Structure 1
Amino acid sequence: MSGRPKRSALGSAGSRSTRETGPGSQPTRRWRSSGREHYLKGTVFCGQCGSRLLVCNAKSSQGTIYPYFVCASRHAGRGDCTRQAMLIEQVERLIERFYAKVQIDTETIEAISAMIHARFDEMMAEGAAELADLASRRTQLEGEQQKLLQAHYAGAIPLDLLKREQDRITASLETIEHRITAHHGHYADARANLDDSLKLLLSGLRPHPGLRGR
């Protein structure tokens, strides 16, 4: 996620005070930046000042650790942001609801797919002339191979010359085959990646693996 939508999605969060670390706990200001990874880390931003949200732990007077997202600017004492810390679990719920709002309908995805595949067709057509030249050159080289063999069998070409010429032709044929295969493979891979990406859009409402079992 990026840009304004995710910032506004978190703009109304943070109902708990930055001094509150959990239900029934005593207030504390002992914030410590956490080195723990989280799947939302680096993708969520403060709804007030736009700074990134850091993963921090707050420890209650009873010793209980609570994971929070904290505005990086406020945490570092930069600016005048007053965004309160948010329990990570609350942010996860907000993100789930945000995904539900931006879900792309099937018709739109099909339209996007058709448009991009049509462009791929145009790009492949633009390379058709080059492919035709490569195919023509391949046929010419294969004809040369046959003539060399016939000349050798007729005693007109010694074996060492035949071998050199055959090696040259074989190398040229391999280069042509590689270019033809790469041309088709490039667009085939691009089409496959496009289809996979569009399938991910359709599955946007599925729970993230990090949320399962909660």
Structure 2
Amino acid sequence: MRLPEGAAGAPADDPGLDAFLARAENRLSHVAPGPGVPLSNPRGDHDLQPEGFSVAPATPHRPAAVLVPVIDRPDGVTLLFTKRAAHLREHSGQVAFPGGKVDAEDTSPIDTALREAWEEIGLESGAVRPLGYLDPYLSGTGFLVMPVVGLVSREAVLRPNSAEVAAVFEVPLAFLMDPARHLVRSAEWKGRTRYFYAIPFAEHLIWGVTAGIVHNLYERLYA
């Protein structure tokens, strides 16, 4: 890996809840992103590739959704993350937002995100107020991920599913909305050098798709 560099931009001037909600109302998409939808701008790890090559398989891409959980704690706003269980076949041990593949019975990406959050961490859908969508994110494994930003009640009780989740933790929004913490790292993948965002926090490393979604949250609300 090469030495990391910080992303360009200034830290969020006011990462408090009121400012966050106002920006979310004005800057998030309130319909599922897709072709022809205003404010829709598909993103992905390919954004960072200097040669412009795609790191994702060709279409059709598999639809998925994640919940970007926002919590108003007494000492500040946080985002909630999970650490995937070590025995999982895909992305084991990685930091992620609650989420997964779209099921046939899901009527919207919000349904998918809330269902997966219930299955993974026991978060009841009634404890979440959906605020809108970030830009869809194309992963290197061929998923088109719809990030759903949701305000989670601070009173919500979580019951992580140990079969899927090893840990649940929160990171201050002010920390995450400082783009200097959005490092760009690289690794060899399929014979090419692949670049991706990485955000170290305490003993955790938020990277890849999850870090890219965090960066998109900064771009949409604070850049």
TM-score interval, smaller chain: under 0.3
Q: Tell me which protein shows more strand as a share of its residues.
A: 2
| Larger Rg belongs to | 1
Q: Tell me which protein shows more helix as a share of its residues.
A: 1
TM-score for both structures, normalised by structure 2:
0.20
The structure with higher relative contact order (CA 8 Å, sep 6+) is: 2
